Structure 1
Amino acid sequence: MCILSSVSGCALGPVHPQTDLSLPPSVNAVASTAPITPVSGPSQTIVAGSPVAKDWWNAFGNTELNALVELALRHNNDIQTADAALRQAAELGRAANGAKLPTLDLSYQAQRARVSNALATPLFDPNQTLYTLHTTQVTVGYALDVFGGVKSKVASARAAAEVQRNHFEAARTTVIANVVLAVIQTGSLKAQVMAVTQSIASNAELLTLMRRRQQLGSVGASDVATQETALASAEGALPPLQRALAHQHAVIAALTGVAPGNPLPPIPDLAAMALPQSLPVSLPADLVRQRPDVQAAEAQMRGAGADVGTAIAARLPAFQLSATAGGVATDFAQMFATGNPFWTLIGGITQPLFHGGALRHQQRAAEAALDGAKAQYRASVLQAFVDVSDALNGLRTDGDALDAANRASDAAGRTLHFVRRQLELGDVGTLTVLNASAANAQASLQLIQARAARLSDSVALFQAMGGDWQSRSANTGEK
């Protein structure tokens, strides 16, 4: 219970609100530590309980990528916006803390006045009705935080600052992941543009062969027209890829804080990026502690609990002490002469009696906000587990997809080579040529996309783990 004579006050709302969580099974039941070893391409090892390395993007082994990430960390506008919001919330928290201390104000007032002869008193010389009055006073005020209303407001402000700190860290992690993903997507699109360009050249060569055979009478005009259609289709696949590639360049420009069209640092090709060999997977309890979005939701829940305490304290008596001391004189130098100083000491208590139910409903609203914050916290925790599960499942299936894409690309390339030889010898039909050409182009694109998917899902796992949270904890003094 609160003691009325207590100056520091006590918290009436939940200081550390908690809620039930639905945790997944042990990480070993979700992700085996056995390496992901596709037939083609490098293997990856998932290490249960391993922390995320500082500067985890270095695991992709490309200095050009690292330079782009560092550039984004310095100039990205989302990070700068989050940083400004963090600094604002921190200052508001410090301002709220000032309410726990007494207030001290100094004032000075000079009054020049003339009194009427009819109002003159023995205090005034009837022949001197014009005078100057100097007043200086110091006022001290202190609100006794008996029921912890001020303490709860301070706790709420500090929780708000903690929310913004975690939002800043989440923005930083998101920007880093988005830069790496944009670089991967750019490399993938560049490779796809090259593959489609090669497909266009291949179809153009096939059309030349068709026309030669038409001149020899081996094929008809319809076969040539069919190949012309295939060439036009291949050429039509190029502009969307070029447009998507230009968009990715614009995305990278925006992430690094410059307008699209400005020169960009070198962007690595897909083949120049290494696949991380070791991938960390945190235990469920660690994941909840290190994800900035989950920590932001937890701080929001604490802030909502403090707001409940503030609402409860608003319905209870408020105690106030104030004191004033000063001096008044018609001569500035005589304000504190004998007889001129004055002082007052006031103690007061205010008990809300009737506010039209507003205070009661404000408390209920704060309690509803706390329930909502608890639900949001549970949702954030579950989303963290979903992100990890999706990334792990993606990595497991990426290896199979890459194997299939490699086999398909090899087979399609061999088939097209044989069909071209048969076409040169006049021993193959037009439909066979078209099918082989289309299959080879499709297999080439699928192989590029499968390689990009392994890189992208590796990024997704790093992001799902909360990024380089150990580095952030060291910088902020967390344990």
Structure 2
Amino acid sequence: MRLVSLALLLSLAGCAVGPDFQSPAAVPDARYTPGPQPVATVPALGKSQSFVPGDPPQQWWTLFGSDKLDATVRAALAASPTLTQASARLREAQENLNARTGATRFPTVDASLNATRQQVDLTSVGITQFPSPGPFTLYNATVQVSYALDLFGGQRRELEGLQAAVDYQRYELEAARLSLAANVVTAAIREAGLRAQLADTVAMAEAQRRQLGIMTERLKLGGVARVDVQRQQAELAQTQALIPGLSQQIDVTRHQLAVYIGQTPASAQLPEFGLEDLTLPEALPVSLPAELARRRPDIRAAEALLHQASADIGVATANLYPQITLTASGGTQEMRARDLFSSMNVWSLAAGVVQPVFHGGELRARKRAKEAAYEQSLGAYQQAVLQGLQNVADTLRALDADAATLQAREDNARQTRGTLAIVTEQYRLGGVSQFTLLDAERQSRQAALDLSQATATRLADSAALMQALGGGWE
């Protein structure tokens, strides 16, 4: 009884062997990039983006000012099968925790009821002075209570690890939500950019077709050589060849958007996205590097795995120490069923201690294995933090470069449009060759495509920054 009392006292005192988990220290860096972090980009298409201290809003995609985009992201978050899977995994982890919580914190109680028909031969045990009784039925009703004392905290470490597993699945769900929202935004921007490129290409083909018509009439009058007309026809054919590929890319992007919102490509009702539907976020919130590990769900998930690995060390350590179990039972044993619950005439009370003595080094080897697993999880966590910092640094530099590139593309597009207008008029008056006209058309077409691509890239990198910062999950 003294042993039992001591075990109860230690169990209630909350003794738990193994390491107590501490969250890793925050990143001490004050900025993401080696040099000074720019406060704003250069202006392009009349807009400059500024980087302001703060965290992204929860619905960060609304920064693009598109109701169509907002509705599509909401539809994806509500119906994506990917999120259904992640939610189910979270519920599974929570129920596993609930199951073990009930099994470890409370005693197990089992009731049994049985009837046995038997015959006893007294002579077989050396009793000959009394006649053996006839066959009889023995009825038993028993309630058994069992409780394993958590003397060294192994069960608490197990629950700690299961709670960390729940946290991991919760962060994985948030990471899936962030990734899905970012994928929808990126796909919408890609569609918008492709539509702009398609429109530019179609417009260029129409201009080339009109020019071909003019040249054909001049050929009839002897004003141009047939080879010039053939060159214009080849240029038009080359431009027209781009149109099916751009249309196919738009369709593929919309098919992917349909999957994101949990629908088939054939049945999905999706809005069309154009660059005119999207507003460039002019103020982008950027949280501090020290806060990134708490903001990004993938880093929080890596920390949860690290916590689980720490708890596993505690479980393996507790297995080296004695395990104490208390059991008690009470019930009745009668020869008539109607007397079964009249009184309790059978009971027992027991305490058991199991101390590992020799397992061939298995238990200590398992503890060392858990310690090695912890080191692996620590390395994975550190890598996740470094990767997150790199993501933010890359997107910040990309946005700065995007603005400069877009500014240059804008200037080039304006210059080539002006040049094409001048060359076209000169060609009409016979002042330049047809080769010069074709070259001006080619440069103008490429400049328009480059401008559309640069505009879409700037929008996409703005979304990438919000994703790199962990979005606005709570």
TM-score by length of 1: 0.90
Residues 293-308 of structure 1: pairs in structure 2 closer than 5 A: 293-308=298-313
Residue from 89, 102, 115 that aligns with 2:93? 89
In the other structure, the counterpart of 2:407 is 403
Q: Is the 8 A contact 1:46 1:278 kept in 2?
A: yes
Give 2:64's aligned amino acid.
F
Question: 2:349 & 2:109 partners in 1: Cα distance?
Answer: 15
Is 1:214 aligned to 2:215, yes or no? no
Give 1:304's aligned amino acid.
A
Q: Deviations over 1:48-71 (max 9, x none)?
A: 2x1222322111111111111111
Give 1:183's aligned amino acid.
A
Judged with a 3 Å threshold, the aligned counterparts in structure 2 of structure 1 residues 114 and 146 are, in CA distance, closer, same or farther, namely closer
Is 1:367 aligned to 2:371, yes or no? yes
Residues 35-50 of structure 1: pairs in structure 2 closer than 5 A: 35-48=40-53, 50=54
In the other structure, the counterpart of 2:150 is 145
In the other structure, the counterpart of 2:471 is 467
Is 1:317 aligned to 2:322, yes or no? yes
Judged with a 3 Å threshold, the aligned counterparts in structure 2 of structure 1 residues 39 and 249 are, in CA distance, closer, same or farther, namely closer
Deviation at 1:156, TM superposition (A): 0.4
Which range is displaced more, 390-399 or 215-224? 215-224
Give 2:69's aligned amino acid.
L
Q: Is the 8 A contact 2:120 2:132 kept in 1?
A: no
Residue from 77, 82, 86 that aligns with 1:78? 82
Residues 121-160 of structure 1: pairs in structure 2 closer than 5 A: 128-129=134-135, 131-160=136-165
Is 1:430 aligned to 2:434, yes or no? yes
Q: Is the 8 A contact 2:41 2:49 kept in 1?
A: yes
Q: Deviations over 1:111-159 (max 9, x none)?
A: 242537787999x996742x33221111111111112111111000000
Is 1:328 aligned to 2:369, yes or no? no
Judged with a 3 Å threshold, the aligned counterparts in structure 2 of structure 1 residues 114 and 20 are, in CA distance, closer, same or farther, namely closer
Q: Deviations over 1:228-282 (max 9, x none)?
A: 2211111111122111100110111011000112142323321121111211111
Give 1:111's aligned amino acid.
A
In the other structure, the counterpart of 1:64 is 68
Question: 1:44 & 1:188 partners in 2: Cα distance?
Answer: 19
Deviation at 1:374, TM superposition (A): 0.4
In the other structure, the counterpart of 2:109 is 105
Q: Is the 8 A contact 1:209 1:423 kept in 2?
A: no
Q: Is the 8 A contact 1:73 1:79 kept in 2?
A: yes
Q: Is the 8 A contact 2:30 2:288 kept in 1?
A: no
Which range is displaced more, 259-268 or 156-165? 259-268
Q: Is the 8 A contact 2:423 2:440 kept in 1?
A: yes
Q: Deviations over 1:72-131 (max 9, x none)?
A: 111011111111111111111222222332323232323242537787999x996742x3
- Give identity over the alignment, percent: 34
In the other structure, the counterpart of 1:448 is 452
In the other structure, the counterpart of 2:359 is 355
SS of alignment partner, residue 7 of structure 1: helix
SS of alignment partner, residue 426 of structure 2: helix
Question: 2:27 & 2:227 partners in 1: Cα distance?
Answer: 65
Deviation at 1:391, TM superposition (A): 1.4
Question: 1:26 & 1:187 partners in 2: Cα distance?
Answer: 33
Which range is displaced more, 285-294 or 265-274? 265-274
The answer for unaligned runs of 5 or more in structure 2 is 1-5
In the other structure, the counterpart of 1:274 is 279
Deviation at 1:35, TM superposition (A): 3.0
In the other structure, the counterpart of 1:475 is none
Aligned length in residues: 464
Q: Is the 8 A contact 1:316 1:351 kept in 2?
A: yes
Give 2:280's aligned amino acid.
L
Question: 1:285 & 1:125 partners in 2: Cα distance?
Answer: 89
In the other structure, the counterpart of 1:476 is none
Is 1:346 aligned to 2:350, yes or no? yes
Give 2:270's aligned amino acid.
P
Deviation at 1:225, TM superposition (A): 2.2
Deviation at 1:285, TM superposition (A): 1.5
In the other structure, the counterpart of 1:161 is 166
SS of alignment partner, residue 237 of structure 1: helix
Deviation at 1:39, TM superposition (A): 4.6
Q: Is the 8 A contact 2:191 2:254 kept in 1?
A: yes
TM-score by length of 2: 0.91
Give 1:62's aligned amino acid.
S
In the other structure, the counterpart of 1:180 is 185
Question: 2:147 & 2:448 partners in 1: Cα distance?
Answer: 76
Q: Is the 8 A contact 2:120 2:134 kept in 1?
A: no
Question: 2:362 & 2:444 partners in 1: Cα distance?
Answer: 72
Which range is displaced more, 411-420 or 353-362? 353-362
Judged with a 3 Å threshold, the aligned counterparts in structure 2 of structure 1 residues 118 and 348 are, in CA distance, closer, same or farther, namely closer
Question: 2:19 & 2:133 partners in 1: Cα distance?
Answer: 70
Which range is displaced more, 371-380 or 100-109? 100-109
Question: 2:170 & 2:35 partners in 1: Cα distance?
Answer: 31
What CA RMSD, in Å, does the superposition of the two structures yield over aligned residues?
2.4
Q: Is the 8 A contact 1:163 1:297 kept in 2?
A: yes
Judged with a 3 Å threshold, the aligned counterparts in structure 2 of structure 1 residues 30 and 388 are, in CA distance, closer, same or farther, namely farther
Give 2:205's aligned amino acid.
I
The answer for unaligned runs of 5 or more in structure 1 is 473-479
Judged with a 3 Å threshold, the aligned counterparts in structure 2 of structure 1 residues 347 and 260 are, in CA distance, closer, same or farther, namely same
Deviation at 1:426, TM superposition (A): 2.5
Which range is displaced more, 323-332 or 109-118? 109-118
Judged with a 3 Å threshold, the aligned counterparts in structure 2 of structure 1 residues 146 and 116 are, in CA distance, closer, same or farther, namely closer
Is 1:389 aligned to 2:393, yes or no? yes
Q: Is the 8 A contact 1:143 1:321 kept in 2?
A: yes
Q: Deviations over 1:324-369 (max 9, x none)?
A: 111111222323546x621111111112223333322221221111
SS of alignment partner, residue 6 of structure 1: helix
SS of alignment partner, residue 139 of structure 1: strand
Q: Deviations over 1:178-221 (max 9, x none)?
A: 11111111111111111111121122222223323333334333
In the other structure, the counterpart of 1:191 is 196
In the other structure, the counterpart of 2:259 is 254
Q: Is the 8 A contact 1:335 1:341 kept in 2?
A: no
Q: Deviations over 1:354-392 (max 9, x none)?
A: 333332222122111100110011011111111111111
SS of alignment partner, residue 40 of structure 1: coil
In the other structure, the counterpart of 2:3 is none
Q: Is the 8 A contact 2:110 2:145 kept in 1?
A: no
In the other structure, the counterpart of 1:226 is 231
Q: Is the 8 A contact 1:72 1:256 kept in 2?
A: yes
